[in-house]
Amino acid sequence: MKFQKLFVIAAIVCLLVGVSGGAAMAEGCADGLIQNETFEGNLVITDELSCSIIGSTIMGNLRVRDTANVLLLNNKVGGSIRVIRTDGLEGRGVANVIANTVFSGNLVVNEYATANVIENETLTGKEGKGNIRVIGNTNALVQKNIAAHNLICENTSQDAFLNVARNKLDCE
């Protein structure tokens, strides 16, 4: 009987640890990697040294803030993607945003030392949505992106080519 009670308590502890670990994933980047995950709402990553999000589906918005090294590769996002530095360390770090699809929002990469924004696509071209903005970065490579509305680049140094925008293309 005593063994049975200990077994039940151990099972409950394992279940609770598993639940809390899963919940933390939506608010952080455990071990620096999120791969092939699905998030029903928003995914927010803040103040991480590095975070790679690969092959995942985010039904809401994807927000990466004040994370030094970012890799977003081949993700599908229902809302918007924002990768920004606001921590007083603007102009540092690397943001690699590659082959992501944004269904009904904007894609913004702002205030990194190096921003590589390559082969991304926004699909909804309504006013205020479907924009790609690569702004305030020290060095930016902006290549082969498709913006359903506007594609705007304003960086210290940039190399931009083979980008397409349905409305305004200001990225040279």
User: Average pLDDT over the chain, rounded to whole?
Assistant: 86
pLDDT at 35 over 60: yes
Rounded to an integer, the average pLDDT of 151-168 is 96
- Say if residue 169 is exposed, middle or buried (CB neighbours under 10 Å; 0-12, 13-18, 19+): middle
Q: Which amino acid is at 75?
A: N
**Global pTM?**
0.83
Please give the pLDDT value at position 26. Answer: 57
Residue 89: HSE in the Cβ half-sphere, 13 Å Cα cutoff: 13
Please give the pLDDT value at position 88. Answer: 81
Within the chain, where are the H helices? 2-25
Q: What is the pLDDT of residues 2-19, one digit of tens each?
A: 434 433 333 333 333 333
For the ranges 80-94, 95-109, 128-142, the lowest mean pLDDT is seen at 80-94
The whole-angstrom separation of Cα 122 and Cα 147 is 5
Q: Tell which wins on pLDDT, 22 or 26.
A: 26
The whole-angstrom separation of Cα 59 and Cα 108 is 17
Tokens 């030392």 label which residue? 113
pLDDT at 169 over 80: yes
